Amino acid sequence: MNLINETHDINLTSWVESANTTTDFPIQNLPFAVFRRKGSSEAFRGGVAIGDQVVDLAVVDAANIFSGLAQEAVHAANAPSLNEFMGMGQAHWSALRLALSQALRTGSAHQASFEAALIAQADIEFSLPCRIGDYTDFYTSIYHATAVGRLFRPDNPLLPNYKWVPIGYHGRSSSIDVSGQTFHRPNGQTKAPDAEIPSFGPCKRLDYELELGIYLGKGNKLGDAIAIEDAENHVFGLCVFNDWSARDLQAWEYQPLGPFLAKNFASTVSPWIVTTEALAPFKTNWHRDENDPQPLSYLDSTANREAGAFDIQMDVLLESEKMRTEGTPASKLSQSSFKHSYWTVAQMVTHHTVNGCNFLPGDMLGSGTQSGPEHEEAGSMLELSRGGKESITLNNGETRTFLNDGDKVIMRGWCEKDGFKRIGFGSVEGTILPAK
């Protein structure tokens, strides 16, 4: 699916001057969120980022500027959640993106009408962009899977099915919240290696996971599978996603059925959904080592091999309570790219539905922790500290093996490529409170 078109032109500029500077949100991006004015009792509604402003889609809808599919789409996006708009499909998404791009370009005849729709991003607050009915977390980074597996199974870190099946588990959507989430350190059962019985209390090995969230748009009927050739037509867009993890709870509870309380206490998404159309220039070839098993036929296609991967850069920063008190900057912990993923977005969507499982608009997939081939590209503290055996030194001299109360974790995402404008996802932030 080649979605590159006039909206990606590197030479496009906007009459919104802040969109023409170094920003995550130039006119070539135009991501969606749900917002209202900070501290107000206004209804939440859809918005689109442009520079340091947000376009209020309620104002655009009421102005009746657009026509056809674009007007139908903006009307659906003027809602407390984007589910209806997301379920409309690619034709409506593209029509609204093009209409917004044309209205926000330098010299647009709609400038006067759109100026009334702008609100500074500094003056808004976010809600979740959609109702996330179901959430499945995958395990697509072979580097993460190998590093974690090596901690527990040094001689056989990868289980036999890893290179054949896009591994995932069904998570808890009710505890997903938008950037700015605060949560209490979880309590639960743990068992020390030398203990006869488990104990109960606060988690001691709290961790983050650097992931991407993949939002489904148009769904499929129960019993129908989504073919890999059609999979990306069902994906509305992506966000940055922190799937917090209690590693000591996880180690005790995960056998035989996998993650449970170690994963369902909090997960945090960035507020802006960057559409698959905006990401089209940053797709790249997907490679499977010739010495590895090749995907079964339902997980393989020429298009997936040629342009199934997304080169999305991501990094993680930690801001301790001491840093906030002293006004020192957050400490960067690692950086990686989604292009290293062992399985693609299309393969995740296809495998998830091959048994007839039905998606609904707004359902979300987690990519799993995205770690690169080098140790410093690890997407979790479990890997960076080698299972808690090595301390990580922050830029103010503090050390960590896992997260402390008061720590804020900040994750960012962006895409860069010659010939195209850099676009970004903004950030996702979450702060740990003491256990109750």
**DSSP states along 406-432:** T-EEEEEEEEEETTEEEEEEEEEEEEE
**Are 269 and 366 within 8 A, CB to CB?**
no
**Are 36 and 124 within 8 A, CB to CB?**
yes
**CATH superfamily placement of domain 6-127:** Fumarylacetoacetase, N-terminal domain (2.30.30.230)
Nearest CA to 374 among 319, 399, 337? Answer: 337
Contacts (Cβ under 8 Å, ≥6 apart) of 295? 288, 347
What is 135-433's CATH topology?
Fumarylacetoacetate hydrolase; domain 2 (3.90.850)
Give the β-pairing of 267-269 and 235-242.
Answer: antiparallel
Report domain extents, the chain. Answer: 6-127, 135-433
d(CA 403, CA 392) in angstroms, rounded, equals: 11
Nearest CA to 211 among 332, 338, 331, 334? Answer: 338
d(CA 272, CA 279) in angstroms, rounded, equals: 13
d(CA 213, CA 140) in angstroms, rounded, equals: 12
Nearest CA to 380 among 135, 151, 128? Answer: 151
pLDDT tens digits, one per residue of 12-47 = 999 999 999 999 999 999 999 999 999 999 999 999
Q: Is this model's pTM higher than 0.85 or not?
A: yes
Write out the binding residues.
Answer: 137, 139, 153, 209, 211, 243, 250, 254, 263, 267, 369
Tokens representing 318 are 């930690």
**Are 365 and 136 within 8 A, CB to CB?**
yes
Tokens representing 71 are 């007007």
**pLDDT one digit per residue (tens) for the chain, 436 residues:** 678 999 999 999 999 999 999 999 999 999 999 999 999 999 999 999 999 999 999 999 999 999 999 999 999 999 999 999 999 999 999 999 999 999 999 999 999 989 999 999 999 999 999 999 999 999 999 999 999 999 888 888 999 999 999 999 999 999 999 999 999 999 999 999 899 999 999 999 999 999 999 999 999 999 999 999 999 999 999 999 999 999 999 999 998 998 999 999 999 999 999 999 999 999 999 999 999 999 999 999 999 999 999 999 999 999 999 999 999 999 999 999 999 999 999 999 999 999 999 999 999 999 999 999 999 999 999 999 999 999 999 999 999 999 999 999 999 999 999 999 999 999 999 999 999 9
Nearest CA to 273 among 60, 85, 113, 110? Answer: 85
Q: What is the CA radius of gyration of the chain?
A: 22
The residues carrying an active-site annotation are 144
Q: Where are the alpha helices (DSSP H) in 78-159?
A: 83-87, 90-104, 111-115, 142-152
Tokens representing 60 are 């655009």
Which DSSP helix (H) or strand (E) runs through 75? helix 68-77
Write out the binding residues for Ca(2+).
Answer: 137, 209, 211, 243
Q: CA of 396: how far to CAs of 299, 319, 359, 407, in Å?
A: 47, 10, 46, 14
Go through 371-401 and write b for each residue having 16 or more CB atoms within 10 A of its CB, e for each that does not: bbeeeebbbbbbbbbebbeeebebeeebebb
Whole-number pLDDT of residue 1: 63
Write out the binding residues for Mg(2+).
Answer: 243, 263, 267
> 135-433: same fold as 6-127?
no
